[in-house]
Chains A and B, each alone.
Chain A
C-alpha cells in the first residue's frame, strides 16, 4: 500500500506520453483473446492522397476505437459483435441491419408478461412504479439497442412524463406511448406525429383527451396541445433556415413562426378526442371491493376516439392555412399535421436536437443543414424518413471525425440515464428475478437526478438552448443542454450512485462482469477492455495510470476469490464512470 501511494503521488506529474503505450498494446491483445476480428490496419486513413478522385467516404471502422465511438453515439453500448461488424461490413451495413431488425418485446408486452394488468383487491392497477420497471427493462434488456437509444432521444423531444399520470394503469399509459416511439423510430416523422397526437398518454399529458369545442357561454378549446405541438414537436418559435439558423427580418430580428391567434385557431382541431375504452376488445370488470368498474388496459393502447359532437366546427386559420368550417375532424387533423410536417422549420428544428442528443451539443449549421436536407428528401423523394435522418446524423463527417485536442467545445455531456444503461449493458446485467425493480431515479442527492420517461415537464430534463452560466461555454456562446442537470448536488449524488451500482444490484438488477471475471488477473487487459467500451478510448494516460495503479493494488490472481475480483473490476469501472474524460462524449 505504501508503494502504491508513492506511485500515485508521482503519477499526475509524469509527462504525458502518446497513447501508444503498453495499455494500447494490451487492448489489441485482449481483442484477439476475445476472438474479435483482426484490426483493420488502415487506422482510418484515406487511400493515397495523390490520385485525382477524392477519397471515398468512410465506410468501415478502421479501428476498435472508431467502432466503439460510433456505437456509443448510435446506441448505449459497444458489444463485441457490433465492433466486429462495423470493421468488417461497415457503418451503412450495420445501420441497415438495425433498421431491418424486428421490433423486440414491447413495453406493453413486458408489462403483460409480468402480470401488471392484474385486477386485485390491493388495486395494483393504480401503481405507477411498474412504468419505471418497464422502461428500465426496455433500456437494459434486449438486443435492439439502437432502436431504443433513438426512441429515448425521441422521448426527450416528444415528451410525455409518467410523473403526473394517475388513474387506472399508469404503466400502460406510458408503456403504450413508449411503444409508439420504438415502433416508429425507423419510420416516418409524419406517421409518428399523428400516432403521438392520438396516443392516450399524450392525450392525458397535454390535455387533448376530453378537449371540448367552444360554447355559447365563453368556454374555449384547450390550447395546450396546439401550442406545444408547434413550439416543441415541429416548428419552434422562430422561422429557420435549413441550416437551423434563424431567418431575420429587415431589421435583423428573428421572425416569430406563430402568434396567439394561430394557437387559438389550431386548438379547435384538437377538440373532440377522448380515451377509447372499448375498441379492440376493451372491457370493464365489475369489482367487489369498490363501486367502480375497472377498465382493461385497452384504453392505453387504443388511439383516442373522435366524437364529432365535441368537435369545433368553426373555421381554422393558422400559419396561413385555412381549414373551412365544418370540415370533419379527421380531415382537419390531416390538414393541420400536414401543414406542420411540411413547414420548412420541421427538418432543421428536429435535426439539430437529434444531433444534440446523439452526437454533439453544438453542431455547425452545415451539419444541421445536411441532416435537414435528408429530412426533406431521403434521396428517393420521401420527406420525414427517420432512417435517412439517423444515417445522416451518424455518418456525417462531423460525427465521424475523430476528436482532436483543439476541439475544446466539441461533444456533449452524457446524460445520467444513458450512463447507467451503458455501464450495465457493458459489464453485463443480471436480474435475479426479471422484475427490473428500479424505481424513479429522479432524486438528485441519492440517485441519478434523471429518470427515463419522467421529465419534470414537456420541456424535457434540459433545454436544447441551455447555456451554463459563468462558464467557458457561456463566454463562447455555446450550448450545453445536459449541463442543466449538473450542479454541486448532482455531481456528488451521481458519484455516490455509481460507487454502489457498479458493484451491487439495485434490487434485482445489477452488474455481473461476466466477460471480465475470467481475465480479472490481467489488469492491463481489463483496463483496456473497459476504456474501449466505456469511453471509446478517451481516457488520458494520466487517468489510465491512476486507475491501473489502483487496480494493481488489489493484486488479483487467478486464484483470487470472486468477491476480490468483483471489487477490483467494480472499482475500475467506478473510476472510469466518474471521470470527466468519460462523462464528456467527444
Chain B
C-alpha cells in the first residue's frame, strides 16, 4: 500500500523541493486588460518597494550633521547641549564616516548638512557612486498643505489624508492612497498597465516576498506571493513525492474544486494559482544563483535575495515589467530607540547593499529601481528613550538609473516650532507620496496621461516628476 509517508520522504522531511511539477501558465484573459500599456520598449524594468513597518525614525536615519544644526538636533533629542550620545541623540563623531556631500554643491535649508545613520555605510558608498538619492520630507497629502491649512477646521477646503498617525491606515495610504480596507495599490496599478507586456507569465507581474500587501494588488494584476525559499510545492499532489496517483488526484480535486461560496472559491483560486506557478517559478529560479553574498539572519536580505533571483529569471519567464514588495518590521521605536534602531538600520543597509550588488552581477542594475517607504516619520522630540508617531519622513531611492548623490525635496528645519512640522517635530510633508510615486511610475514607463488613474490626487500638485530617477 502506498501512503503519503514513505520512509524516504520521512527522511527528507526538512528538505526544500526543487523538482519540477506540471506547469500550466494561468489563463489570464489579456483581452480584458486595458490597452493602455506603454511598454513597447524591449527593456526590462523592475520597481522594488522596501517597506519599513512601524514608522521609521527619520531623524536618526538622515541626521543633521553640521555643527549648528546638529546642536539643535542634540538639544531636542537629548534635552541638553553636547555632541555625545545622549537621550535619543546619536553622537556626532559617530556620524563622520557617513556624512553626505551632495554633488554640485547643493545647498539645503539652514545650510543643513546630513549624515546617514552610522550603520548605513553601504548606502553611503552607493550615494558616493551616484546610485542612491534621498527624498526629503515625503508623506501622504491630498494637496499641498501649509501649517495654517492643517490647523484649519475647514476640511472641505483643506482636506487631509484620513487617519494620520495611525499605523495600519498610513501603511495602507502609502501603498494604495486609501486607508485600511483599500484593495488596490499603486504598484498593482502599474502592474495593470504592464500585464499585456508580460505574455504568458503575467501573474508574475506583481510579487510580494513578505506576505499580503495592498501595494502590489491591482485591478487585474494579482499579487503573487513568493517565499524566500522559492515557490512551495504541495507534496501530496507531487508525483515525485507521492506515488499513488489516486491519492494525488483526490488531493488536487479537494483543494482546487470550484464552489459557489465566495470564501471557498477564493481558497481554491489561490491554491490553483500556487500549484500552477510553482513549477514555472522554481524551474526559472533554478538557473539563477548569483554569487553576491546576502547576509544571513536578516529577513529583509532573504526577501531581496529571492527578488534578485526572480529578476534574474525575468528573461526566461518572458517578463518586461515587474513590481516587487519586501518589508522589515520593528520600526515602531517608542522605546529603546538607541538599542533597536541601529540594528534595523544595519539590516536595511546590508540587505539593500547586497541587493544592489546582485543587480550589478546580473547585469540589470540600470533596470531595477528600489525605494524605501514606511508608515510615517516620527517625532523629533523624545519621550525619554524613543519617539512617537509622525507624518513626513525621508526615504531612499537606489538603482543604476537613479540620479543619486543628492537630495530631493525640501529639508525641514531642525525644530519643534517651525511651520514645516505640526508639533514635536512631526513633519508636515513638503512632497507628497503621489509625487514620489509618480516619479517612479514615469521611470517605469507610465505616461503622464496615465498618472491620474494610478495616483488620483497627482493633479493637485505642480510637479509629477521629481527628477531622482
A interface residues (Cβ-Cβ under 8 A, vs B): 1, 4-5, 8-9, 11-12, 164, 206-207, 210-212, 215, 217-224, 227, 231, 237, 251, 256, 260, 263-264, 361, 405, 407-409, 411-413, 444-445, 456-459, 463, 465-474, 476, 478-480, 483-493, 495-496, 499-500, 503-504, 542-543, 546-547, 549-550, 553-555, 564, 567, 570-571, 574-575, 578-581, 583-584, 586
Q: Which residue on B lies nearest to A223, using beta carbons?
A: B388
Q: Which residue on A lies nearest to B422, using beta carbons?
A: A260
Residues of A close to B265: CB separation below 8 A: 472, 580
User: Is B235 engaged at the interface, CB distance under 8 Å to the other chain?
Assistant: yes
Residues of B close to A256: CB separation below 8 A: 163
Cross-chain contact A496 with B180 (CB below 8 angstroms): no
Q: How far is the CA of A575 from the CA of B252 in the complex (A)?
A: 10
Residues of A close to B263: CB separation below 8 A: 361, 409, 411-413, 473, 480, 483, 580, 584
Cross-chain contact A469 with B247 (CB below 8 angstroms): no
Residue from B5, B163, B211, B383 within 8 A of A503 (CB atoms): B5
Interface residue stretch chosen among B93-101, B129-137, B330-338, B348-356? B330-338
Cross-chain contact A210 with B247 (CB below 8 angstroms): no
Whole-angstrom distance from the CB of B284 to the nearest CB of chain A?
15
User: Is B141 engaged at the interface, CB distance under 8 Å to the other chain?
Assistant: no
Q: How far is the CA of A495 from the CA of B236 in the complex (A)?
A: 8
Residues of B close to A4: CB separation below 8 A: 246
User: Is B259 engaged at the interface, CB distance under 8 Å to the other chain?
Assistant: yes
Residue from B219, B224, B329 within 8 A of A456 (CB atoms): B329
Cross-chain contact A468 with B266 (CB below 8 angstroms): yes
Instruction: Provide a sorted-by-A list of 16 A–B residue pairs whose CB atoms are within 8 angstroms.
Output: A210-B335, A219-B381, A220-B382, A223-B389, A224-B334, A237-B163, A407-B261, A444-B211, A445-B232, A469-B222, A486-B212, A495-B236, A496-B235, A499-B236, A580-B254, A584-B261
User: Is B267 engaged at the interface, CB distance under 8 Å to the other chain?
Assistant: yes
Whole-angstrom distance from the CB of A300 to the nearest CB of chain B?
17
Instruction: A480-B263, A499-B5, A584-B267 given; name 20 further pairs at CB < 8 Å.
Output: A218-B416, A219-B382, A222-B384, A223-B334, A223-B383, A408-B261, A413-B263, A413-B267, A457-B53, A470-B217, A472-B262, A488-B225, A488-B278, A492-B271, A503-B5, A553-B246, A571-B3, A578-B255, A579-B254, A580-B254
Cross-chain contact B232 with A496 (CB below 8 angstroms): yes
Whole-angstrom distance from the CB of B388 to the nearest CB of chain A?
4
Cross-chain contact A5 with B251 (CB below 8 angstroms): no
Whole-angstrom distance from the CB of A577 to the nearest CB of chain B?
10
How many B residues are at the interface, by size bracket? 35 or more
Residues in B56-87 with C-beta less than 8 Å from chain A = 75-76, 79-80, 87
Cross-chain contact B382 with A487 (CB below 8 angstroms): no
Cross-chain contact A469 with B384 (CB below 8 angstroms): no
Q: How far is the CA of A197 from the CA of B211 in the complex (A)?
A: 31
User: Is B440 engaged at the interface, CB distance under 8 Å to the other chain?
Assistant: no
Q: How far is the CA of A239 from the CA of B222 in the complex (A)?
A: 34
Whole-angstrom distance from the CB of A499 to the nearest CB of chain B?
5
Produce 1/0 per residue, B317-337, CB < 8 A to A. Answer: 000000000000110101100
Whole-angstrom distance from the CB of B378 to the nearest CB of chain A?
10
Q: Which residue on A lies nearest to B256, using beta carbons?
A: A580
Q: How far is the CA of A104 from the CA of B110 in the complex (A)?
A: 64
Cross-chain contact A487 with B225 (CB below 8 angstroms): yes
User: Is B410 engaged at the interface, CB distance under 8 Å to the other chain?
Assistant: no
Cross-chain contact A487 with B211 (CB below 8 angstroms): yes
Residue from A408, A463, A491 within 8 A of B274 (CB atoms): A491
Q: How far is the CA of A480 from the CA of B79 in the complex (A)?
A: 47
Residues of B close to A584: CB separation below 8 A: 261, 263-264, 267
Residues of A close to B217: CB separation below 8 A: 469-470
Q: Given that A496-B232, A554-B1 are contacting pairs, would A222 and B259 also be in contact in the complex, using a CB cutoff of 8 Å? A: no
Residues of B close to A581: CB separation below 8 A: 259, 264
Residues of A close to B255: CB separation below 8 A: 491, 495, 578-580
Q: Given that A487-B212, A580-B257 are contacting pairs, would A469 and B166 also be in contact in the complex, using a CB cutoff of 8 Å? A: no
User: Is B279 engaged at the interface, CB distance under 8 Å to the other chain?
Assistant: no
Residue from B5, B76, B165, B168 within 8 A of A260 (CB atoms): B165
Cross-chain contact A445 with B183 (CB below 8 angstroms): no
User: Is B33 engaged at the interface, CB distance under 8 Å to the other chain?
Assistant: no
User: Is B181 engaged at the interface, CB distance under 8 Å to the other chain?
Assistant: yes
Cross-chain contact B335 with A222 (CB below 8 angstroms): yes
Cross-chain contact A408 with B167 (CB below 8 angstroms): no
User: Is B419 engaged at the interface, CB distance under 8 Å to the other chain?
Assistant: no
Cross-chain contact B270 with A488 (CB below 8 angstroms): yes
Whole-angstrom distance from the CB of A199 to the nearest CB of chain B?
16
Q: How far is the CA of A218 from the CA of B278 in the complex (A)?
A: 55
Q: How far is the CA of A251 from the CA of B382 in the complex (A)?
A: 38
Q: How far is the CA of A479 from the CA of B181 in the complex (A)?
A: 8
Cross-chain contact B79 with A215 (CB below 8 angstroms): yes
Whole-angstrom distance from the CB of A336 to the nearest CB of chain B?
18
Q: Given that A218-B382, A480-B263 are contacting pairs, would A488 and B234 also be in contact in the complex, using a CB cutoff of 8 Å? A: no
Q: Given that A463-B168, A488-B273 are contacting pairs, would A8 and B249 also be in contact in the complex, using a CB cutoff of 8 Å? A: yes
Q: How far is the CA of A297 from the CA of B266 in the complex (A)?
A: 46
Q: How far is the CA of A342 from the CA of B446 in the complex (A)?
A: 51
